[in-house]
A and B are shown apart, each in its own frame.
Chain A
Amino acid sequence: MTTMTTLTGPVLVLIDHHAGAVRPPTLELLTLARAAGDVTALWFGDGLDGALPLLAEYGVTSAYQVVIDSPVANAMHLPAVAAEAVAAAVRQSDAALVLLTSTFENKEIGVLLAREIDAGIVVDANGVTVVADGAVETNQSAFAGTWSVRTQITTPRAVVAIKPNSIPAEPAPLSAAPGVVTVTVTPSEDALRTRIVERNERVATGRPELAEAQVVIAGGRGTNGDFSAIEELADLLGAAVGATRVATDEGWIEHTAQIGQTGVTVAPKLYIGVGLSGAVHHTGGMQSSGTIVAVNGDPEAPIFEIADFGIVGDLFTVLPQLSAELRARLG
């Protein structure tokens, strides 16, 4: 008996895009998908044509463009509607594996989709591989990054949501642009019971998205609301700025900057936390970061227990000195 390590059908990758641009974590998904099988991209809304060259560069062989046939405003942004549309694309393409980025919206779409197509689902994964008999296995971290877990999906179809910054994205160019297939989906009445009466897309800050950034600098109570030294360093490094719940509750920075178990989860190559103690509510959202740097005046702060490089000192002297030194040495 031979054991097949290939899927029974293509890998369907939901392409996250914002303001016409493909989100960087999607390229990680495409890189993972290529190793698992033939890659089909799934695109909601307009703008697919402009993205086809990039999709070809990342090895996409065909692209499904979803058209939601409904007069309801923002229908494609309703998770239940999106799940029905992805399910239709799965049936049409006979995909064996669906990959999404692990955002709150996508996790909701993913679980509804998995229920619809009788698939097992793993979210917040760092990797996905096809093992013996075409089964899908995932890797993820648990308990604030202190455990590694390997999970097998035991159903013929699998849905996996991958965290940003899980792997380096690598192109694998195809000479031909992917063929485009239009999938028109009429949402069920049930899926339209929830309505979006208002939707405001966030204005770009010029900085990378917190969840996607390679470098994150976070501030807490110790900033006393003064994020200027953090902003200066962030501008220098092209970093995203994050915060603890205390800092967002105080109104020092917008709520969407909150890193932690109830906010954004980050896993950048470099995390720098200043003026924050390292309460578990915060560290649960950043402990998988590559290198952790902490600056805090209190030598007993728990953040130092997980920091690769810890400085007991005043952030208002350490950060400006750091910025000046980096500016001088990096030019």
Chain B
Amino acid sequence: MRIVVCVKHVPDLQSERAFDAEGRVVRVGGEGTLNELDENALQVAADLVAEQGGEVIAVTVGPAAAADAVRRAFQRGADRGVHVVDDAIAGSDVFGTAVCLAAAIRRLGAEARVDLVLTGMAALDGLTSMLPAALAAELGLPQLTLAARLTLADGVATVRRDLDNATETLTAPLPAVISVTDQINEPAFPSSLGIMAARKKTVEAWSLADLSVDPTAVGAAGARTRVVEATPRPPREHRVLIADDGDAGRRLAEYLIENKLV
């Protein structure tokens, strides 16, 4: 199996997250981390390669600091890592990001067949869950999203997914793009051996020119949406915190009735 895992460098959930004046997410190197759901995707890839042999290639798109996501993927078993990096990429929307990732995956595919493209079901900064489907469309591959279970047999992937109103089992022929949820596995912590091995690996940096991508098709120039304004919300006012000394339930009832909440 030759598996590409798309990974993303995101602001740490525990850190202060913000937008800059251009409406872009502020990504400070020191406070960034690997998107947690990508750990699930990397674990799926590592398990498949442990079972069937093959290669795991982590691919990311983003500014210089984003290479950190690939290095963390090395610690989690990625054999090789690619960072698509170019000043013209800044401000990309989901379609621009998909164009960049797809170009890198096609180049990898030109070297040898890529059997599977894995992603997390969402990036925990934007949480839109749009990239996997956009990437599949860009690559011309079928997509299986929100996989809570995944099995591969005879060149066909089968996934189970839970939707708002239904549970589904879907199939698609490989190669396919598959996004996974945190139900699919429990990612292992990187081993010290894995961390040592990761230090020896090099992140391959590919520019848009390397990938023959038109710079005006991506980045802010190619984006179909533009943030007009981003403002922090004021903290909640008139907050009440009480210790229960026997009548807290009644006081809460009073509060709910008074504020017409029930």
Answer yes or no: B50 CB below 8 A from chain A CBs: no
Contact with A along B117-153 (1 / 0, CB 8 A): 0000110111111100110011010111110100000
Question: B124 near A261 (CB under 8 angstroms)?
Answer: yes
The answer for the CA separation of A295 and B167 in the assembled complex, in Å, is 33
Contacts of B240 in A (CB 8 A): 308-310
CB of B28 within 8 A of chain A?
Answer: no
Q: Could you tell me if B163 and A112 are in contact, using CB atoms closer than 8 angstroms?
A: no
Q: Is the CB of B169 within 8 A of A209?
A: no
Asked if B166 is at the interface (CB within 8 A of a chain A CB), the reply is yes
Residues 302-330 of chain A, each 1 if its beta carbon lies under 8 Å from chain B, else 0: 00101111111110011111111110011
Within 8 A of A (CB), among B232-250: 232-233, 236, 238-244, 247-250
Q: How far is the CA of A211 from the CA of B164 in the complex (A)?
A: 8
Write the chain B residue with the least CB distance to A291: B261
Interface size class of A (residues with CB under 8 A): 35 or more
Interface string of B12-35 (1 = CB under 8 A from A): 011001110001000000000000
Q: Which residues between 192 and 251 of chain B lie within 8 Å of chain A, taking CB atoms?
A: 223-233, 236, 238-244, 247-250
Is there an interface contact between A122 and B225, defined as CB atoms closer than 8 Å?
Answer: yes
The answer to whether the Cβ of A246 comes within 8 Å of any Cβ in the partner chain is no
Contact of A22 with B by CB under 8 A:
no
Q: Looking at A111, A153, A324, which has the most chain B CB atoms within 10 Å of its CB?
A: A111
Q: Is B87 an interface residue (CB 8 A)?
A: no
Question: In residues 106-124 of chain A, which contact B (Cβ within 8 Å)?
Answer: 107-108, 110-112, 114-115, 118-124
B227 touches A195 (CB 8 A): no
Any A CB within 8 A of the CB of B64: no
Could you write out 7 A-B pairs with CB less than 8 Å apart?
A: A149-B229, A154-B226, A201-B166, A290-B261, A291-B259, A324-B249, A325-B250
Name B residues whose Cβ lies closer than 8 Å to a Cβ of A: 13-14, 17-19, 23, 37, 93-95, 121-122, 124-130, 133-134, 137-138, 140, 142-146, 148, 158, 162-173, 176, 181-183, 223-233, 236, 238-244, 247-250, 252-257, 259, 261-262
Starting from the known contacts A149-B23, A153-B225, A313-B243, 12 additional A-B residue pairs (CB-CB under 8 Å) come to A77-B168, A143-B17, A149-B230, A150-B227, A150-B228, A152-B225, A194-B171, A202-B166, A304-B241, A308-B236, A308-B240, A310-B242
